[in-house]
């Protein structure tokens, strides 16, 4: 089954990268959010087809791809604003969008407010991060976060969320290869700010596994740590001023931190399964 | 005088018999009452089993432990029993905690959005004294379908605490009809359900 899921996982990332590469470098920031907002819901559709599990009726978690598509569309519009206004209008607009529509199971009004606030904070952070450390580092940070969320979703039996997180990882990977798409005024940074907290909230609300809330929150917020650890005083040129040894030590620290936070999930996934289909 | 005493005797004796032998004892062994009796399902002694083919090989059995509801039964068999059964999906028990969690996920029973499976019978056809084919609405993961349920009255018994009634219901469904389409091919489409019900007679308020 995992082999079959590789196509829905990688196809959106490849489509995203291919389209970005067709665009001129200066156009990438403008279109990256809209493209990402389109390919992630497409990953959901491909995932359904591959799982043979086309939904019979609307489920609360289907709000997730709808929110992501909406965020993609909104971010494409928001980049048209003057940069000064975007810095504040984008977090507020996207936070409101996520908070309004993100009613996953077991979430009450207070949770929706929290979701909205976390998305607003996340979007602001990604815009700042893109401004500070313009370059491949931002994409790498998002990639690490998405990669970490995927096994947590899989451990909770939420296969489609796993596909979505993994697809988001391939899209982040594409952003590493085309870093211009993540400029501070770019819609790609805004979309990343929506994707990570929303994925984590959706996973948390459906989770029957042992992953506590802080593990979901830590994974969605991991890029903050990555960026702080790696580039505390980033130069505007985007080049790392730190010596390579210091960078390596920080990288090891991040990997250790990630491993520690993912420990319950890894333990659960490594537990003996009854067949080749894992827990099924 | 003799006539008077025989009139008094004929009037008093039946009354005396009625006083000495309450109606319930007099009617023992006589045809059962036509009035339907309401029963409350005993969740400890009721359960739901499901069976599905795994990897085109073995038959896998799982169980739901929390089954509640009511039964209305005409003991003279004049009408089919009326079943209203609720099965909490979080009570799934496959013998593996990990598999339980998986099956509660959004693509299976979607336990967070649909806490229970329900069956409400609406009509029935009598097959023999203890068997009925009940028609009713079965709801799984939020999808409702009309199904036929073979229902057997397994017994009416009880103890010091009151009377008990037992039923065994069996049916076969196609999980795709209820929107559970994940892993088709690896996990069989047809699912057999066996539901064992035991209920206590409801005491009059």
Chain B residue whose CA is closest to A202: B106
Q: In this complex, is the C-beta atom of A56 within 8 Å of any C-beta atom belonging to chain B? A: yes
CA B131 – CA A243 distance, rounded (Å): 82
Q: What confidence tens digit (pLDDT) does each residue in B166-193 have?
A: 999 999 999 989 988 888 788 999 999 9
Q: Is the pLDDT of residue B165 over 50?
A: yes
Q: Where are the domains of chain B?
A: 1-30, 31-201
Per-residue pLDDT at A47: 74
Determine the pLDDT at residue B30. 46
Cα separation of B144 and B189, whole Å? 17
Chain B contact set for A208 (CB, 8 A):
100-101, 104-105, 111
pLDDT at A7 over 60: yes
What pLDDT is stored for residue A179 in this prediction?
A: 76
Predicted complex ipTM: 0.71
Taking the alpha carbons of A39, A41, A44, A48 in that order, is the dihedral positive or negative?
negative
CB contact under 8 A, B105 and A61: no
For chain A, give every domain's residue range.
2-270
A61 touches chain B (CB under 8 A): yes
Check whether B152 has a pLDDT greater than 50.
Answer: yes
Q: Is the pLDDT at B17 greater than 60, yes or no?
A: no
Best CA proximity match to A166, nearest among A275, A53, A4:
A4
Ranking A189-198, B38-47, B148-157 by mean pLDDT, the lowest is A189-198
Question: Which tens digit of pLDDT belongs to each residue from A183-230?
Answer: 766 788 888 889 999 999 999 998 886 688 889 998 888 877 766 665
Q: From CA A221, how far away is CA A206, in angstroms rounded? A: 19
Q: What does the alpha-carbon distance between residue A34 and residue A45 come to, in Å, rounded to a whole number?
A: 17
In this predicted structure, what is the pLDDT of residue B29? Answer: 44
Contact criterion met (CB below 8 Å) for A188 and A29 = yes
Q: How far is B179 from chain A (nearest CA, A)?
A: 5
How many other CB atoms are there within 10 angstroms of residue B15's CB atom? 9
- Interface list for chain B against chain A, based on CB atoms closer than 8 Å: 54-55, 96, 98-108, 110-113, 141-143, 178-179, 181-187
- Answer CATH for B31-201 from 2.40.128.110, 1.10.490.10, 3.30.160.270, 3.40.190.10: 2.40.128.110
Distance from CA of A261 to the nearest CA of B (A): 20
Task: Tell me the backbone φ, ψ of residue A211, rounded to 5 degrees.
Answer: -65, 115
Chain A nearest CA to B125, separation (Å):
31
Q: Which among A36, A26, A112 has a CA at the least distance from the CA of A71?
A: A36
Alpha carbon distance B141, A56 (integer Å): 10
- Report the length, in residues, of chain B: 205
């Amino acid at each position: 089954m995992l082999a079959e899921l590789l196509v829905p996982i990688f196809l959106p990332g490849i489509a995203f990268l291919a389209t970005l590469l067709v665009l001129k470098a200066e156009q990438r920031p403008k279109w990256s959010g809209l493209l990402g907002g389109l390919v992630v819901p497409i990953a959901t559709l491909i995932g359904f087809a591959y799982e043979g599990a086309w939904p019979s009726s609307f489920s609360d978690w289907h709000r997730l791809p709808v929110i992501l598509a909406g965020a993609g569309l909104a971010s494409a519009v928001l980049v048209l604003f003057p940069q000064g206004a975007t810095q504040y209008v984008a977090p507020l607009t996207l936070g409101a969008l996520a908070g309004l529509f993100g009613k996953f199971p077991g979430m009450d009004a207070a949770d929706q407010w929290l979701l909205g606030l976390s998305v607003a904070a996340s979007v602001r952070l990604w815009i700042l991060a893109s401004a500070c450390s313009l370059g491949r580092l931002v994409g790498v940070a998002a990639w690490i976060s998405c990669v970490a969320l995927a096994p947590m979703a899989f451990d909770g039996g939420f296969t489609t969320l796993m596909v979505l997180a993994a697809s988001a990882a391939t899209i982040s990977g594409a952003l590493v290869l085309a870093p211009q798409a993540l400029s501070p005024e770019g819609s790609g940074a805004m979309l990343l700010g929506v994707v990570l907290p929303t994925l984590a909230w959706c996973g948390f609300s459906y989770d029957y596994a042992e992953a506590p809330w802080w593990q979901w929150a830590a994974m969605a917020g991991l890029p903050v740590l990555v960026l702080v650890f790696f580039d505390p005083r980033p130069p505007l040129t985007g080049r790392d001023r730190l010596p390579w040894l210091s960078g390596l030590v920080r990288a090891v620290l991040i990997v250790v931190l990630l491993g520690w936070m993912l420990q319950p999930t890894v333990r659960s996934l490594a537990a003996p399964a009854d067949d080749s289909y894992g827990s099924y | 005088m003799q006539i008077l005493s025989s009139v008094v005797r004929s009037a008093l004796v039946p009354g005396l018999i009625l006083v000495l032998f309450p109606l319930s004892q007099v009617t023992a062994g006589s045809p059962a009452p036509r009035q339907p009796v309401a029963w409350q399902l005993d969740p400890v002694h009721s359960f739901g089993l499901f069976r599905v083919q795994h990897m085109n090989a073995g038959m896998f059995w799982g169980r739901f432990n929390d089954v509640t509801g009511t039964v209305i039964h005409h003991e003279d068999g004049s009408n089919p029993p009326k079943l209203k059964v609720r099965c909490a999906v979080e009570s799934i028990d496959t013998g593996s905690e990990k598999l339980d969690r998986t099956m509660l996920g959004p693509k299976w029973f979607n336990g967070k959005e649909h806490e229970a499976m329900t069956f409400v019978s609406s009509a029935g056809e009598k097959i023999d004294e203890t068997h009925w084919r009940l028609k009713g609405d079965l709801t799984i993961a939020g999808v409702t379908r009309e199904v036929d349920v073979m229902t057997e009255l397994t017994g009416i018994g009880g103890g010091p605490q009151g009377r008990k009634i037992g039923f065994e219901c069996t049916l076969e469904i196609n999980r795709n009809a209820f929107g559970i389409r994940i892993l088709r091919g690896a996990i069989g489409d047809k699912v057999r359900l066996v539901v064992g019900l035991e209920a206590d007679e409801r005491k009059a308020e």
